Structure 1
Amino acid sequence: MKLPYEWQIGLRYTRTGKRSSDNGFISFISLISMLGIALGVAALIVVLSVMNGFQKEVRDRMLSVLAHIEILSPIGSMPNWQLTNNEARQNSSVLGCAPYVDAQALLVRKNSVNGVTVRGIDPALEPQVSDISTKIKIGRLVDLKPASFSIVIGVNLASALGVTLGDKVMLVAPDGDFTPADMLPRFKQFTVVGIFESGHYEFDRTLALISIIDAQSLFQLSAPTGLRLRIKDMQHAPEVARQLTVTLSGHQYIRDWTQQNKTWFSAVKIEKRMMFIILMLITAVATFNLVSSLVMTVTDKQADIAILRTLGAQSRSIMKIFIIQGVTIGFVGTSIGITLGCILAVSIPWLVPLIEYAFNFQFLPPSIYFISELPSDLVMVDVIKIGTIAFVLSILATLYPSWRGAKVHPAKALRYE
């Protein structure tokens, strides 16, 4: 099928001309604009994919220790936790439920004193709500037996205390016992039976796990402080939490994993948005080059425009020619950028180690970053958003040059031809 003459002329203008060196220069500028759009789109896709990868990696490491949803009692303990447990399991989204005790304490070893978050757990039920059992480097989680006063700590905490499997540590509870002389803190000696490595510095440095029975005894609690839940899709945690608020009896405080780390996730979201805006400016600069390229084309093709006008072409047809030229450059540049960006984003897991090996350096040294590999998570929604914005900017860049071309007066353009 033969294309309309506007399409034929517009597509021909995107190719290198043969009549003069000026045409070749203009086409070179068009090529630079196309490559600028492609590089901007590709860079944006790669950077956002890496940021998504970091966010996913940190989130997954957090959730290997954290539960998707926590149900807490406002009075500090949950005497009827079995009833709450049964009611929570009635929700079809809940996969697992386990009681726990949460408290703050000091862990002492010789001259080393570290503040820790003590979590009393049931080793048999804990795998239902977290992946901590798969993160144990030394020892076993099942060795947290009731009344054995054993403890599992993070690898960074173990390093800070200088302990390993079988060593003794002193756990000091902040709320002590009152005596006629003064209040004395409660303390108990625990044996290290496991060391875990979640990959998240905060948890590996400040989290200590003990038996829930030992935790209730040490902190003088008659019942667990709450329940931890795992659901089918962690992205639906806020929605499931709202459902549980309605269905659970009694007064409970329910929080999901997004609330527990709200500040961090908000910071990442803002950082990603700002990075998107900054990198999109690269594409905007390329579209400015497209404007200059089309303006130069209009100036160079004034005689052609005048001849078309004398042959009966209307102003909207002239505009259509240059819009087609600009849109073609924008479409090709955006398509190349999307293809290149997706290939690079998918290739990062093996491409970065190859570059590190070839040049003998590391992008993320393990001594500085707790993630030693550069992660990447290509999200198609981001790709569609980037491609759409780049293409729309290319269309907008054609409006002024095409309008200027439509305003060319035939008589003035042909006066000196």
Structure 2
Amino acid sequence: MRYELFIALRYLKAKRKQAFIAVITVISVLGVMVGVGALIVALALMTGFHEDIQSKILGANSHLLVFNANLTQPINNYQALVQQIEEVPHVVAAAEVVYSKGMVSSPFRSEGVVIYGINPLSIRRVLNIFDRMVEGDVSTLASSPSAERREKIILGKELAQNLGVMVGEVVKILSIDASSLSPIGLLPKPRYYEVAGVFQSGMWQADSQWAFISLPSAQRFFDLGNRASVIEVRVDDVWRVKEIAQAVREQIGSRYILQDWMEMNRSFFSALKLEKLLLFIAISLIVAVASLNIIVTLVMMVIEKNKDIGVLMSMGATSKGIMITFMLQGIIIGVLGTLL
């Protein structure tokens, strides 16, 4: 064992008259331990939270959206477009969707909602949200209405609770996109739906503001004819979505606008990244204070061991060797704190 390491270990065992330095050394070790532990726990929690939110976002939303280049116009001949998109490598599935903002009312309350018209068979290949049904099943939207049976609607859990409705009860839907001309101007046309299911995605926005009806019902309600608002696309690798989007763009041409999930949630993920950075800086300051304690301990040790240093140098120890001795002592304190 080199004499520098031997002396550094020896100095860590303080004598009775050096008890104060021993206490400072213990405090330094504990400071490093707490700082590093807090840093690891905080970053682990933030990483887990980030991944959880990301999985919920990707479960409730598609990976890629395709709009008409004229955003005010719906997509014509969407069946052929869906087929074209699904031919692109790494595209798992595509589904046509109609959507509009509106209001849903029960005898107790009214809530603003986004109404989605979907094809129950194709949408399940694109969105995972319907794997989290609390009651009912999305396939019920495909059932044909009759004189005895109303059209069906699926609500988010928070929305259903706010409205005070359960499966089997009836709600009224109003939308500005479904209006009729009257002597006093445009009036929204009401339509009544039976609640056929309730989903819980884990995302407040979806659970409190989303409602799903069948695609044909939405097309009739919003007077769209055989057209869709958007094509939602699922890919096999969410981290290559921009590359896949470029391939889709080359396949379908410039008549359409594409938006991927990263662009849709850019501000949200930027805020999460900033929060993670600020947390890292805050915890790093704790570690810096603990490191300062180590420096103070070493300075006090040098002052205390001034005579010992003189003896060592008279025995042939170099200034570099003495410096290494105290540096090793600081490293040992830091390593002990980190390992603990």
| TM-score for both structures, normalised by structure 1 | 0.74
1:100 aligns to 2:97 (yes or no): yes
Deviation string 1:318-362 (CA, Å, 9 cap, x unpaired) is 2211111111211221222xxxxxxxxxxxxxxxxxxxxxxxxxx
Contact 1:121 1:211 in 2 (8 A): yes
1:77 aligns to 2:74 (yes or no): yes
Report the AA paired with residue 214 of structure 1: S
Distance apart, 1:295 and its partner CA: 0.3
Match of 1:157 in 2: 159
* RMSD (CA atoms): 2.1
Contact 2:108 2:164 in 1 (8 A): no
Match of 1:21 in 2: 17
In 2, Cα distance between equivalents of 1:317 and 1:246: 68
Gaps of 5+ in 1: 337-417
Distance apart, 1:187 and its partner CA: 2.5
Contact 2:159 2:209 in 1 (8 A): yes
Distance apart, 1:63 and its partner CA: 2.6
Distance 1:42 1:247, change over 3 A: farther
Distance apart, 1:55 and its partner CA: 2.5
Match of 1:66 in 2: 61
Residues 136-285 of structure 1: matches in 2 within 5 Å? 136-145=133-142, 148=145, 149-175=151-177, 176-179=179-182, 182-221=185-224, 222-285=226-289
Distance apart, 1:181 and its partner CA: 5.6
The alignment of Structure 1 onto Structure 2 pairs a total of residues equal to 331
Distance apart, 1:239 and its partner CA: 4.3
Distance 1:303 1:246, change over 3 A: farther
Contact 1:67 1:229 in 2 (8 A): yes
Distance apart, 1:201 and its partner CA: 1.9
Distance apart, 1:95 and its partner CA: 1.9
In 2, Cα distance between equivalents of 1:26 and 1:72: 70
Distance apart, 1:153 and its partner CA: 0.4
Distance apart, 1:26 and its partner CA: 1.8
1:7 aligns to 2:5 (yes or no): yes
In 2, Cα distance between equivalents of 1:306 and 1:245: 77
Match of 1:34 in 2: 29
Contact 1:147 1:214 in 2 (8 A): no
- Range with bigger deviation, 316-325 or 290-299: 316-325
Distance 1:90 1:31, change over 3 A: farther
Contact 2:78 2:228 in 1 (8 A): yes
Distance 1:111 1:32, change over 3 A: closer
Match of 1:331 in 2: 335
In 1, Cα distance between equivalents of 2:292 and 2:244: 48
Report the AA paired with residue 283 of structure 2: L
Report the AA paired with residue 10 of structure 1: A
In 2, Cα distance between equivalents of 1:267 and 1:33: 34
Residue 193 of structure 1 aligns to a residue whose secondary structure is: strand
Residues 393-404 of structure 1: matches in 2 within 5 Å? none
In 2, Cα distance between equivalents of 1:205 and 1:133: 15
Report the AA paired with residue 26 of structure 2: L
In 2, Cα distance between equivalents of 1:34 and 1:120: 61
In 2, Cα distance between equivalents of 1:318 and 1:164: 79
Distance apart, 1:147 and its partner CA: 5.0
Report the AA paired with residue 85 of structure 2: A
Contact 1:84 1:249 in 2 (8 A): no
Match of 2:148 in 1: none
1:304 aligns to 2:300 (yes or no): no
1:53 aligns to 2:55 (yes or no): no
Divergent runs of 4+, >4 A: none
Distance apart, 1:124 and its partner CA: 0.6
Gaps of 5+ in 2: 146-150
Aligned counterpart in structure 2 of residue 112 of structure 1, from 109, 112, 115: 109
Match of 1:364 in 2: none
In 2, Cα distance between equivalents of 1:94 and 1:12: 66
Distance apart, 1:107 and its partner CA: 1.1
In 2, Cα distance between equivalents of 1:93 and 1:102: 26
Distance 1:198 1:310, change over 3 A: same
Distance apart, 1:262 and its partner CA: 2.6
In 2, Cα distance between equivalents of 1:329 and 1:298: 15
